[in-house]
Amino acid sequence: MARTWLAPRWMILLGLVTVAVVSAAVAAAIALSQQGIPPTGGTSPGAESTPAKTGGASTSARPTGTARPPVTAGCPRATVTVTTGSELKAALANPEPGAVIRLADGLYTGNFVATGKATAGRPITLCGGAGAVLDGGGTEDGYVLHLNRASYWIVKGFTVRNGQKGIMADETTNSLLQGISVSGTGDEAIHLRRFSSDNEVVGNTIRGAGSRKPKFGEGIYVGTAESNWCDISNCEPDRSDRNRIIGNTISGTTAECIDIKEGTSDGVLFNNTFDGSSLADADSWVDVKGRGWTIEGNTGRNSPRDGFQTHEIIDGWGTGNVFRNNLAEVNGPGLGYSLKPVRGNVVECSNRATQAGQGLSNEPCSSG
């Protein structure tokens, strides 16, 4: 009679643990893919494992090993819940690593400053639902929320409105802005400035920027114009580098939906959606003046001229950028992808343009 072999208990337990770990990893990957976000450490636009080369410039999204807070759903258990503007200001003044500041639903009027350094393992979280509204009280001056010298912050889920600028980040690193609704700003909605690097701006909704001065009404603005370097970055390029702008929906801006300034490098613009119907002081959804950026999987519609543009404001910038798998429904007289000048910029043949009066690009597309 054959003898039936029974696995030892420890082998059965090990198998169950392995199945649980794999299932959790698969579920996390699915959740991220549903948001259009490449899983951390996986292949992403310009992934660090095999960076594309364009004219000698790497399009690597970020150096291997750079840690950021994870993209997550919901709000963790609060260490403090605030209900008034004064409570919020107190909670934002240099909180300890690991703090979770939860906004109860309600109106928080004023200008709020968040500062403090945390770690990848113990980030500082500021979170709330869409019913928690930070209101700057007017569009003529002030930042509704100012991240100032902050590192490893997770800011997510609530509403920001009615300020000269919505969210300003200065000297902010390794932080995440996720799922925030920003509307009704006098100038730009979200600005990463003054050496703010290695941040992620993920899944935010931006509507209505530029009511104060149309030329300053960008949706997301990265870096500083060369004309302001002496005021902002000690007359040096504002190297707000390796930022990733992913899965945002931007409409109603009077200037570019995305403005990437000279001085910034190696960022990723991935899977965003633009509507340029309100552009008044810009002629494209996206203007790339930095270098080494990967612009992939974005969709735009309605522009007074072009869909995507590059510009060389000063020598050495506005080059080495790669456009891949984007869709430009221009509905305008210009190009889907306008390279001014071409330099080391590449428009791959995976890009598409429709209703563009001058066609796909001023440069023949590349097979990649």
> What pLDDT is stored for residue 94 in this prediction?
87
Q: Parallel, antiparallel, or unpaired for β 106-109 and 132-135?
A: parallel
Amino acid residing at 325? N
Which residues, in sequence order, are CB contacts of 251 under 8 Å at separation 6+?
Answer: 206, 207, 257, 274, 275, 277, 278
Sign, CA dihedral 102-69-289-313, equals positive
> What pLDDT is stored for residue 39 in this prediction?
37
Closest to 257 in 3D by CA, of 281, 289, 286: 286
> What pLDDT is stored for residue 201 in this prediction?
98
109 near 137, Cβ under 8 Å?
A: yes
> What pLDDT is stored for residue 236 in this prediction?
96
Residues of the chain predicted below pLDDT 70: 1-70, 72, 368
> What pLDDT is stored for residue 33 in this prediction?
38
Q: Parallel, antiparallel, or unpaired for β 53-54 and 57-58?
A: antiparallel
Task: Domain 82-282: give its CATH superfamily.
Answer: Single-stranded right-handed beta-helix, Pectin lyase-like (2.160.20.10)
Amino acid residing at 245? I
Q: Domain limits of the chain?
A: 82-282
In whole angstroms, how far apart are CA 98 and each of 91, 153, 331, 359?
A: 13, 9, 48, 51
> What pLDDT is stored for residue 1 in this prediction?
42
> What pLDDT is stored for residue 78 in this prediction?
97
Edge-to-edge order in the sheet of strand 205-209:
106-109, 132-135, 159-161, 181-185, 205-209, 249-253, 273-275, 299-301, 327-332, 352-356
> What pLDDT is stored for residue 61 in this prediction?
37
> What pLDDT is stored for residue 298 in this prediction?
98
Query: Which ranges constitute the DSSP H helices of the chain?
Result: 9-34, 85-92, 229-232
322 near 46, Cβ under 8 Å?
A: yes
Which residues, in sequence order, are CB contacts of 9 under 8 Å at separation 6+?
Answer: none
The residue assigned the tokens 């337990």 is 13
> What pLDDT is stored for residue 74 in this prediction?
83
Report how far residue 198's alpha carbon sits from residue 175's, in angstroms, rounded to the nearest whole number.
7
In whole angstroms, how far apart are CA 295 and each of 232, 323, 327?
A: 26, 5, 11
Report how far residue 160's alpha carbon sits from residue 355's, in angstroms, rounded to the nearest whole number.
34
Rg of the chain taking only CA atoms, in angstroms: 22
The residue assigned the tokens 């456009």 is 323
136 near 163, Cβ under 8 Å?
A: yes
Amino acid residing at 264? T
